[in-house]
Amino acid sequence: MATLRRDGSPRISGIEVQFSDSQLQVGSMLGAVKAMDLRRDPRVAIHGPTHDSAKSGRWRGEAKVAGHAIEVPSEGDAHTFRIDIEEAVITRVRNNRLVIESWKPTRGRQLTERS
């Protein structure tokens, strides 16, 4: 996950995402710097893991989402944020072509293929 530090430079942090009531959510320990980043500037980008193509023999692709984090009430010693998604991108290879599938609320779904 990428957030913005106080000085505007990027911070990359490991994160696990979950879906709750059809909403993408992330969490962190209480007082974590990534949570403080999101409280100060809610812009966020999340890059989904890729599989090791050397082990599997095939690259399965990757997913990216970008948007704004909105803090929601959580239990215990944690911060929970719902991600208001403003862009989603899935990139993969099909028939030796790069396939980029993207979505934005202002234009909907778009499919692009490149050689």
DSSP H or E stretch at residue 43: strand 43-47
Q: Which CATH code fits 2-114? A: 2.30.110.10
Q: For the chain, how many helices (H) and strands (E)? A: 2, 9
**What are 40-67's pLDDT values in tens digits?**
999 999 998 776 666 666 777 899 999 9
Degrees to nearest 5, angle at CA 82 with 78 and 85: 150
CA 2 to chain centre: 8
* Average pLDDT taken over every residue of the chain: 92
**What are 10-37's pLDDT values in tens digits?**
999 999 999 988 899 999 999 999 999 9
Burial of 65 (0-12, 13-18, 19+ CB in 10 A): buried
**Whole-structure pTM value:** 0.85
Residue ranges of the domains in the chain?
2-114
The answer to whether residue 71 scores a pLDDT higher than 90 is yes
